[in-house]
Amino acid sequence: MSITTWGNDEPHVNCTWNSYLVTKGENILLIPAAGMRSTEQDIAVNDKVILTLATREVEGFNGYHGTGFRINGTAKFLTEGEYFDEMKAKFPFLRSVLQITVNNLKQLL
């Protein structure tokens, strides 16, 4: 999945794996962050984020072989708290947790 942020000069695009995504409640996504320094620098200036993710393994609209989503949200980095501890236990390599609040989600196909 892609994570696009902007705020310092040009946009920055980072990536992680679909399988690393953890959902919480209706509109919270948690992503383990190992590096993501440029993403963090953008978020410090502008917390808006665009995510995209897709897989061929889930059927899309009208029986299409694959589906994909674009998500608009806001982001913050967590370095402590319940979500951080839970994610750290699951992904020991993380240095922080990227928490996304989903504002808009669109299934693309």
Residue 47 Cβ vs a second copy, minimum distance, rounded to whole Å = 13
Is residue 48 a contact point for a second copy (CB under 8 A)? yes
Q: With contact defined as beta carbons under 8 Å apart, do 100 and 49 qualify? A: yes
Identify the residue among 24, 37, 56, 106 touching a second copy (CB under 8 A): 56
| 82: phi then psi, degrees, rounded to nearest 5 | -60, -50
Tokens of 19: 């399988």
Tokens of 58: 């889930």
Q: Which amino acid is at 42?
A: D
Only segment of 6-14, 22-30, 74-82, 97-105 that touches a second copy (CB under 8 A):
6-14
Q: Which amino acid is at 35?
A: G
Binding site for a second copy (CB under 8 A): 2, 4, 6, 10-11, 13-15, 17, 48, 50, 52, 54, 56, 66, 68, 70, 108
